[in-house]
Amino acid sequence: MASTTYHPGAPPLQVAQWFNTREPLTLEDLRGRVVLLHAFQMLCPGCVEHGIPQARRVHEAFPSADVVVIGLHSVFEHHAVQGTPEALQAFIHEYRLRFPIALDRHEGDGSIPLTMRSLSLSGTPSLVLLDRQGRIRLHHFGHLDDLRVGAVLGQLLTEPTPEPLPDAAAGTSAAPSGPAGCDANGCPLPDDTPDAMH
């Protein structure tokens, strides 16, 4: 449970479009607060059934001055259907999501969006928790129960806010590799992804 000794800084968010926020958010601006990044896809059953309701619960349980919840729409399949800003806007509207949501940015013909790649996410849903210094303290693919998520949040909330570290290396790839194809837990990246991380 966030037990690694070295905690890399989170890479910057690379966003095509923001929703539910007046202006774009940057992790630098959020230094001093705990950040919960919930990576999802609107057509991922595990995200809709478990991940998004959990993100909503965290958003409601903790004051935004302490914990900032950010939804990250990281589309790596069915791009034509769920990858557009219009699709995400409709989803946010119908599911009445209130927390800030970022559409992960694609570049060139890569099927995996940039933030998902720089965070080394294994699929959706994925949960990434950043401490007050912007360091990655939890990096999980699939569903994690509220007790464990709450315990890490409680731990991070007790930590002081030292000076930001210069370190901003790429995210750890400690995340477990998921099963093939969407299941109740989530949608893993295909093993033969052309632009898989290395």
- CA dist 144 → 14, 26, 132, 148, 165 (Å): 25, 25, 21, 7, 28
Using CB under 8 A, pick the residue from 13, 39, 114, 152 that binds a copy of itself. Answer: 152
According to CB under 8 A, which one of 12, 146, 170, 193 is a site residue for a copy of itself? 146
Q: Which is nearer to a copy of itself, 13 or 47 (CB)?
A: 47
CB of 150 to a copy of itself, least distance (A): 2
Residue 118 φ/ψ, nearest 5 degrees: -70, -25
Residue 189: CB atoms within 10 Å: 23
CB of residue 51 vs a copy of itself: minimum separation in angstroms? 14
Q: Which of 31, 148, 168, 190 binds a copy of itself (CB under 8 A)?
A: 148
Strand partners, 165: none
Query: Whole-number minimum distance, CB 58 to a copy of itself, in Å?
Result: 6
| Identity of the residue, 32 or 93, whose beta carbon is nearer to a copy of itself in the bound complex | 93
Segment near a copy of itself (CB under 8 A); pick from 15-23, 58-66, 170-178, 188-196:
58-66
Gap between the Cα atoms of 110 and 89, Å rounded: 23
- Out of 22, 158, 192, 198, which residue is the one contacting a copy of itself (CB under 8 A)? 158
Q: Give 150's contacts (C-beta < 8 A, 6+ positions apart).
A: none
CA dihedral sign, ordered 148, 191, 78, 37: positive
Q: In the chain, where do the E strands start and end?
A: 15-19, 34-40, 67-73, 101-104, 123-124, 126-130, 136-141, 187-188
Which of residues 15 and 149 has its CB atom nearest to a copy of itself in the complex?
A: 149
In terms of phi and psi (left: phi > 0; alpha: psi -120 to 50; beta: otherwise), the region of 74 is beta
Which region among 53-61, 105-113, 114-122, 164-172 touches a copy of itself (by CB under 8 A)? Answer: 53-61
The whole-angstrom distance between residue 193's C-alpha and the CA centroid of its chain comes to 20
Q: Of these, 182, 185, 188, 189, which contacts a copy of itself (CB under 8 A)?
A: 182
Binding site for a copy of itself (CB under 8 A): 42-45, 48-49, 57-58, 61-62, 78, 80-82, 84, 86-87, 90-91, 94-96, 145-159, 182, 187
